[in-house]
Amino acid sequence: MKLRFIHFSDSHLGFVDYTSDDFSVQKAREDDAYKTVAAVIDHAIETKPDFVIHTGDFFHRPSPYNKAIIEAGKQFKRLSDAGIPFYMIAGNHDLPKSEDTRAIHEIYEMFPGCKIFYDQKYSTLDCGSFILHALPHINFSQNHLDEINKIAVTDTKKPNILLMHLSMPVSIYKEEEPGGGIFPVDKLAILKEFNYVALGHWHRFNHLNKYGNVCYSGSTERINSGEADHNKGFVEVTIDDNETTINFKKLETREYLNITVDGCSSKTKQNILDEISAITGGRDISEAIVRVVLKNVKDTRYYEIMRDDIHEITGDCLVLRFNKILEGQTSVEDRDNQGGESLVDRLLADLRAGFPDEEEFKKFEEITKELFEEIITQDGGNDN
C-alpha cells in the first residue's frame, strides 16, 4: 500500500508587510503569498497526490482580509474539484483567541473533501487507507499539554500521520517563533511510532531525523529579511509499507537579496560601492527586495554614502533598504532595523530633535510604536 501526499504550511495569507509604507509594495508582497499557495495547488493538480495537508497558519490572522478569504476559497475549490482530499489544522496565527469568535476555517469545510481541525482538541480520523491524527493550535498551554498527552497510535495496520503546529524542544534557529507552544521532551519517543509527523510553525524546512519522520515543511513565502537565507517550498511524501520518503520541493519566490559590506572603516567609498556592484552584477533586480548593510562605519564618515548612492547601483527595485552600522556596534538600532524607511520611523526621526531628554524620548518612542502597532494590526495581541 503506497501513499503519496503533499505537505505545506505557514502560508500566512493576508500578511501585509507594513515595514514598507508604499501601498504598491504592500500589495505586491501580499500577492506573493497567494501566488506561492497557488503554485503548490498547481503542483498537486498536476501530480495528483492521494491528499494534501497543511499544518497551520494558513492565514496571517484570525480575521483575514476579504481578499485572503476569497483567494483561499479559490484554491480549496480547485483541490476539491480535482477530487484531492485536503486536511488542515489551525495555527496560532489563524485561530481566534477568544472563545466566542468563530474560526474562519469553518467556511472551507463546505468544500467536499476539505477537513479542517480547529476545535482545540487532539483527534484522530480514519481516512480509509491511513489514520490521521490532528493536534491544532490550542490557546491555553495547560490544555495544549493535556491534549498532547492523549496522542497515541492504536491501529498499526495502517499508516499513521500526525499534524501539529508548534515548536520542537530543540533550539536550532534564532528565529524560532514563540507563541505556538512546545512539544514536551518526555513525549518525544511517541513520534517514532508515526509514519510521518507533519509540523508547522517554524518557517524553514527541517527534517528532524533523530525523532523519526518528523518534518517542518517550512513556509511558502518569506515574511521578513530573517528568512532570506533559505529556500521556500513544500514537501512531497511517500509512505511505501514502512518506508517514508521526504522530498523538499523548492518554490519560485521573489528574490530577497541581502548585501552586507564588512569593515567599511578601512575601505574607501569607491571600494564599498564596487563591492555592492559586484554582487548586483548589472542583473535586473527590479522585482527584488534588496537590503544593503554597511558594517563598521566610522562615525565621522556616517553621511559619506547615502541611500541615493546605493540606488544608483541597484536601480529601482521593489524594496530597497539601507542600513549603516557604526564602528563598535553589532546591529542597527531597532528603529532602523527595517531600513529606516517606515512611516513611523521617519516620524520618530523628525520628532527626535524636539526631545532634549533621551529617557523621555525613549518612553515616547515606545508608546508611539505600541499605538502604531495597534492601529495597523487592528486587533493587537494577535502576533505570533
State in angstroms the smallest separation of the CB of 139 from Mn ion.
13
Q: Which stretch binds Mn ion (CB under 5 A): 29-37, 120-128, 173-181, 211-219?
A: 173-181
**Among residues 61 and 291, whose Cβ is nearest to Mn ion?**
61
Q: Provide the strand spans (E) within the chain.
A: 2-8, 51-54, 86-89, 114-117, 123-126, 131-135, 160-165, 196-200, 206-207, 214-216, 233-240, 243-250, 256-261, 289-297, 319-326
Q: Which stretch binds Mn ion (CB under 5 A): 85-93, 151-159, 280-288, 303-311?
A: 85-93
Exposed e or buried b per residue across 192-213, where buried means at least 16 C-beta atoms within 10 angstroms of its C-beta? eebbbbbbbbbbbbbbbeebbb
Measured at the alpha carbon of residue 60, what is the angle toward residues 15 and 53, in degrees to the nearest 5?
120
Q: How many residues bind Mn ion (CB under 5 A)?
A: 5
* 159: three-class secondary structure by DSSP: coil
**Among residues 85 and 181, whose Cβ is nearest to Mn ion?**
181
Binding test (CB under 5 A) with Mn ion, winner from 54, 115, 201, 222: 201
State in angstroms the smallest separation of the CB of 160 from Mn ion.
23
Q: Which stretch binds Mn ion (CB under 5 A): 89-97, 115-123, 183-191, 345-353?
A: 89-97
Q: Which stretch binds Mn ion (CB under 5 A): 196-204, 253-261, 305-313, 363-371?
A: 196-204
Q: For residue 106, how many C-alpha atoms fall within 13 Å in the half-sphere facing its CB?
A: 9
Contact between 94 and Mn ion (CB under 5 A)?
no
Q: For residue 7, how many C-alpha atoms fall within 13 Å in the half-sphere facing its CB?
A: 32
Q: Say how far residue 282 (Cα) sits from the centre of its chain.
A: 30
State in angstroms the smallest separation of the CB of 378 from Mn ion.
19
- Could you give the C-alpha distances from 253 to 16, 25, 40, 233, in angstroms and in order? 16, 15, 12, 9
Binding test (CB under 5 A) with Mn ion, winner from 14, 62, 91, 96: 91
**Among residues 204 and 295, whose Cβ is nearest to Mn ion?**
204
Window 283-342: residues binding Mn ion (CB under 5 A)? none
State in angstroms the smallest separation of the CB of 357 from Mn ion.
40
Q: Which stretch binds Mn ion (CB under 5 A): 12-20, 179-187, 234-242, 328-336?
A: 179-187
Binding test (CB under 5 A) with Mn ion, winner from 17, 30, 57, 221: 57
Judged by the rule CB under 5 A, the positions of this chain that interact with Mn ion are 57, 91-92, 180, 201
